[in-house]
Amino acid sequence: MSRFTVFGASGFIGRHLTAHLRENGHDVVTPARGGALSDENLGHVIYAIGLTGDYRQRPYDVIEAHVGLVAAILQPVRFESLLYLSSTRVYRGLSADVVANEETPLPLNPSLDGVYDYSKLLGESLCLAHSNPAVRVARLSNVYGAGMSTALFLGSVLQSLKTEGRVTIQDHADSAKDYISIDDAVAALIHVAQHGRYRLYNVASGQRTTNQALAQAIKAASLSADFSGATPTPRIFPMIDTTRLQSECAGMPRCVTDDIAQLIHRQ
């Protein structure tokens, strides 16, 4: 078994990663944020520190979480590998008809929303500039599962369904994005950390799910879902190309619409 060090183990993805690794007999260290770093070899480091739903209200914390802390780890620490968790949100400036792979050029437009994207890209750049080829980046899609943050779109939908039995979706029915289950994401991340042949991976399902499809799955679970009409234009994210990941981790990822009923009860 291997040694892993998970930074951000108290977060949604970090908790699931840590639990899965320990269940499978790995030695897992979960350093406290801001604590002194060990002089020992940290093994396979997974950097899962990040801000998501509230990043617009905390731009300075975003920079520290996505750039400052990983820079402090990359310089003095000994490790076998390091995997930095980035986001497929870096693709959101692309047209909906683009299939985004790891080499797709990205548009840059300075803005408050851009703070998240740029900070992730700067964190990526620090990692990919490192001389150790075992320093890698995983661009994660929208990860769903039990205990996900209610500050995120799907988390807020699930919370409304659990407490009220119905939800009014504050977005266009045709808005669409890629979702990946936490179980699929964890399996992919552990593989990439230990055995990845590339330095940059899209970790996603490779399929888009519309809000209308989510609403239909909610109704199939005997609950109510409608739309407010607050967003007149759909927000359709690019398709995420997962060819690189699938070449190493073949298998059909779960579909979020198949998991809706279970997610409501476990949220």
Write out the chain in H/E/C secondary structure: CCEEEEECCCCHHHHHHHHHHHHCCCEEECCCCCCCCCCCCCCEEEECCCCCCCHHHCHHHHHHHHHHHHHHHHCCCCCCEEEEEEEHHHHCCCCCCCEECCCCCCCCCCCHHHHHHHHHHHHHHHHHCCCCCCEEEEEECEEECCCCCCCCHHHHHHHHHHHHCEEEECCCCCCEEEEEEHHHHHHHHHHHHHHCCCCEEEECCCCEEEHHHHHHHHHHCCCEEEECCCCCCCCECCEECCHHHHCCCCCCCCCHHHHHHHHHHHC
pLDDT of 35 reads: 67
The per-residue pLDDT for 254 is: 92
Distance between CA atoms of 139 and 169, rounded to whole angstroms?
Answer: 27
Rounded mean pLDDT for each run of 10 residues along the chain, 267 residues in total: 94 97 96 76 95 78 91 89 97 94 90 87 96 97 93 93 93 97 97 98 97 96 90 93 94 91 81
**Please, which residues bridge with residue 210 across strands?**
176
pLDDT tens digit sequence for 108-119: 888 877 889 999
Q: Looking at residue 19, what is its pLDDT?
A: 97
pLDDT at 231: 80
**Structural domain tally of the chain?**
1
User: In the prediction, which pLDDT does 94 show?
Assistant: 95
Average pLDDT value over all residues in the chain: 92
Q: What is the extent of the structural domain holding 43?
A: 3-266
pLDDT value at residue 53 = 67
Quick one: pLDDT at residue 77?
84
pTM tops 0.85, yes or no:
yes
The pLDDT value given to residue 32: 83
For position 92, which CATH number holds?
A: 3.40.50.720
